[in-house]
Chains A and B, each alone.
Chain A
Amino acid sequence: MTMTARATEPRRNSVPVTAEEAAALEQTWRDPSGIYGWLAAINHKAIGRRFIVTAFGFFVAGGLLAAAMRLQLARPDNRLIGPDLYNQIFTMHGTTMMFLFAVPVMQAMSVYLVPLMIGSRSVAFPRMNAYAYWIYLFGGLMLYVAFALNIGPDAGWFAYVPLSGPDFSPGKRVDFWAQLITFTELSGLLEAVILVTTVFKLRTPGMTLNRLPLFVWGMLVTAFMVMFALPAVMLASTALITDRLVGTHFYNPAEGGDAMLWQHLFWFFGHPEVYLIFIPGLGFMSAIIPTFSRRPIYGYSAMVISLIATAFLAFGLWVHHMFATNLPELGKSFFTAASMMIAIPSAVQIYCWIATLWTGRLVLRTPLLFVLAFFFVLVLGGMTGLMLASVPLDLQVHDTYFVVAHLHYVLIGGAVFPLFGAFYYWFPKITGRMLSERLGRWNFWLFLIGFNVTFFPMHLLGVQGMPRRVYTYPVEMGWGGLNAIASLGALTIAISMLLFVVNVWRSLRHGAPAGANPWNAGTLEWATSSPPPACNFEAIPVVAGRDPLWEPGGQASLVRGLSVDSREVLMTTVLDAAPESREAFPEPTIWPMVGALATTVLFVGSIFTPWAVVWASVPVGIALTAWFWPRRPENRAHLALERAP
């Protein structure tokens, strides 16, 4: 491919795509090879895979911390882990699971899947996508390096002031926590912008919003929630770290500050966050259930409206985390009502799924098992949620193991079970190989049993008055038996996770080849080969229905005329997805990674000196400018394709 050929007549894909064009597309869209290429990668599938693997790595780390806690609590008066280390461990566990696993893993799945599901060659802003991944990785590594050096945060995952303030938490521990928030929220906010733009502008022709897969709807709603929820915690943690480092007084009552301000800001983010984790889980459900019921989803419009209603209501719940504070009773009643009301859209979706399952022909494979477990586990968590929404009961069990049980039922039932279903469901697409069904069933049953054995007894422990976050308890309290059972359950979960890792490891090598559509599913990601080519689809498929692969008329048509030598992406209108323009996307570059490194220097440096914000902004500025600055060969190729509106 010479420059002159490029300048004269750019090659564009025809339909059917010729072998030569397919090879050119592969060459154009794949990331460069070697270590440099690995650092410069921007293909959404490469970034998505790394994101998923990294998030799973943090899930394992957070799980090992949980195992350490269960080991410590297995019997009364245990002296295995001291109180100081225990404080760090429960803080690290909560922080890891909430900030480094639950929200990022959902965004990671969507980075990989959404372009495939909407028939695009890429996410919007692929370089920013790479930057967001590196920021997330470096932030997580910073936290674990600090933990290894005995400066892990120790004030709980919601770091209440005044405990986390300069008077009661001297040293650097909480500063690392506050900067971890900055890292993860920056990454999460960028991913939200990328996702909204991708979904609104990069859908394939014919994919009107009314035909958008429900998983993509879920991620779209989540992205909007991220944009309005995450700023609160970024602002809160910035105020916390300036209180600690430069003597501001946001949370210091002696100088006009207010400790409750922290709780308001934190939970204004923190409650929506539960739904940032839960709504993608609902999206997984809505993707898996139709495939294994062999019919389209029942009540598509009701499902979409419920998702949006959930998102709005989620912002009206934050005070129910603060029922034990001195807020006006009337205010609390409002939040009780809102907490009860959010059960309605959740119930609408659950009934739609049941209707789909009821009227379908069930294919009981591992992904569906995990989805079915959702109904059982989440409903139990939802019941205790309704109990906690009433102020008198909440006061009784506040800060006890009852709350620990509730939140694990909701988060693991609502998000982690569907997520594992999603791993089993999309693993063949990502790797080209099937996971073992036999190991999958062992994984599932051990997880389900282990989960209930671990967390059900915690309800009882909470009612018996066992407070959360205690490193041990005296034998006279009589909590030993139930704690021993919970620890056995944790061991069972650990074994089930080990089986999952073994399953992935073996299947990567010896799994049955998957083919393009092993489950005979209806959505677009199954129209391309497994794993997909670098460009996702050699010719972009046009769609004419919600389940394009199940349409009676078959494939509507294909797109031709996109460049095969430049990263050209088709853009469509927001509502109707009518073709609008074709934009040449940027090439891979190492600068997002360098920019993320420079940003890391700035964030970590600011823990030690506020001046780091000033001097470290110079390398950040240089990296971001080099990232933007156009290169001439790329520019020439784009000019050859250019056509003014």
Chain B
Amino acid sequence: MIAADANEARPARVAAPDVADATSTVDVRELPSFGFSHRSLMWWGTAGLMAIESTVFGLAIVMYFYLRVHVERWPPSTPPPDLFWGTLNTAILVVSTWPNHLAKRAAERLDRRGVQVWLTVCLAFGMAFLAVRGFELTALNVRWDSDAYGSIVWLLMALHTTHLVTDTWDTTVLDVLFFTGPLEGKRYVDVSENALYWYFVVISWLPIYAVVYLAPRG
């Protein structure tokens, strides 16, 4: 793909005199104008955000156990959160990785129709787990201002819910864009990286689920 023309004329005009004796060139016109996975900037940006947010989640979980070792009973004065809604939501989140995977695959095939279909299914899942999250929050059996246990449980839930809301909104915007246009190749990359971020939101939920729902029972 790269042509190094050794016979290219010596340049009469370049950026600065110090680099005037260029004898060859690297031609980049035939290179692709976008790429998936680690070839795209969006992948690196998303990876950076995931590193930051994993640190946030990790530290919040450390805070949970730090606070736990400082009291006799855990939870101090309330029953643990009800299992039903949280477990249901975990199931929805895990299942949602399937349409998400198909949306990612469709994007990597540059298949507009497939992206439209599977992003819409993803969006339905997003709406579903946001609705169930609403019920979950009513079944935590503790308020954030009851005690430090309540505070850290609500902090964990609020952090993760923020990710659900933002990722559902991202998915909505992308989905609408795939129906209305204007499209170009890198929008398919956006869909692919949005799917990666969705995986992160699901995978980061599993330890948080374990901490919020199982740790008080352990």
Contacts and interface: CB of A to CB of B under 8 A. Distances in A.
User: Do A and B come from the same complex?
Assistant: yes
Interface in B110-131: 110
Contacts, number: 250
B105 to A, nearest CB: 15
B49 interface: yes
Given A542-B26, A570-B28, A529 B39 contact: no
B63 A250 contact: yes
Interface stretch (A176-184, A234-242, A358-366, A448-456): A234-242
Contact of B22 (A15, A571, A574, A632): A15
Given A197-B45, A197-B48, A579-B2, A557 B23 contact: yes
A125 B25 contact: no
A580 B18 contact: no
Nearest to A197: B44
A558 B23 CA distance: 8
A625 B45 contact: no
Contact count band on B = 35 or more
Nearest to A264: B66
Contacts of A619: none
B16 A235 contact: no
Given A15-B11, A235-B56, A628-B173, A227 B145 contact: no
Interface stretch (B91-99, B181-189, B208-216): B181-189
B17 interface: yes
A6 to B, nearest CB: 14
A246 B143 CA distance: 11
Nearest to B19: A555
Scoring A555, A559, A632 by chain B CB atoms within 10 A of each residue's CB, the highest score goes to A555
Nearest to A206: B26
A560 B26 contact: yes
Contacts of B8: 15
Contacts of A247: 144-145
A16 B44 contact: no
A231 B59 contact: yes
A558 B22 contact: yes
A247 B147 CA distance: 9
Given A16-B11, A235-B63, A555 B173 contact: no
Contacts of B17: 516
Contacts of A19: 13
B55 A228 contact: yes
A645 B19 contact: no
Given A528-B16, A554-B19, A579-B2, A12 B148 contact: no
Interface residues of A, number: 90
Contacts of A562: 28-29
A152 B31 CA distance: 54
B27 interface: yes
A557 B22 contact: yes
Given A235-B56, A258-B66, A555-B22, A644 B28 contact: no
Interface stretch (B80-88, B133-141, B149-157, B197-205): B149-157
A435 to B, nearest CB: 21
A28 interface: no
Interface string A524-559: 001111000000011101100000110000111111
B151 A192 contact: no
Interface stretch (A35-43, A464-472, A489-497, A581-589): A581-589
Given A541-B19, A635-B182, A201 B44 contact: yes
Interface string A630-645: 1110011011011111
A78 interface: no
Contact of B18 (A516, A559, A638): A516
A398 B169 CA distance: 50
B132 interface: no
B4 interface: yes
Contacts of B53: 231
B45 A16 contact: no
B30 to A, nearest CB: 7
A248 B148 CA distance: 7
Contacts of A257: 67, 148, 151
A19 B44 CA distance: 36
Given A196-B44, A205-B26, A235-B63, A581 B148 contact: no
A642 B184 contact: yes
10 closest cross-chain pairs (CB), A and B: A16-B11, A561-B29, A193-B48, A247-B145, A555-B19, A256-B148, A248-B151, A635-B182, A645-B32, A516-B16
23 contacts: A16-B12, A17-B13, A196-B48, A231-B53, A232-B59, A248-B144, A248-B151, A255-B148, A268-B59, A529-B15, A541-B19, A555-B21, A557-B4, A557-B24, A558-B25, A579-B31, A581-B39, A582-B32, A630-B184, A638-B33, A643-B33, A644-B34, A645-B36
Interface of A: 12, 15-19, 22, 124-125, 128, 189, 192-193, 196-197, 200-201, 205, 227-228, 230-232, 234-235, 238-239, 242-243, 246-250, 252, 255-258, 261, 264-265, 268, 516-517, 526-529, 537-539, 541-542, 548-549, 554-562, 570-571, 574, 579-584, 621, 625, 628-632, 635-636, 638-639, 641-645
Given A558-B26, A581-B39, 4 more contacts: A17-B14, A239-B155, A579-B26, A632-B182
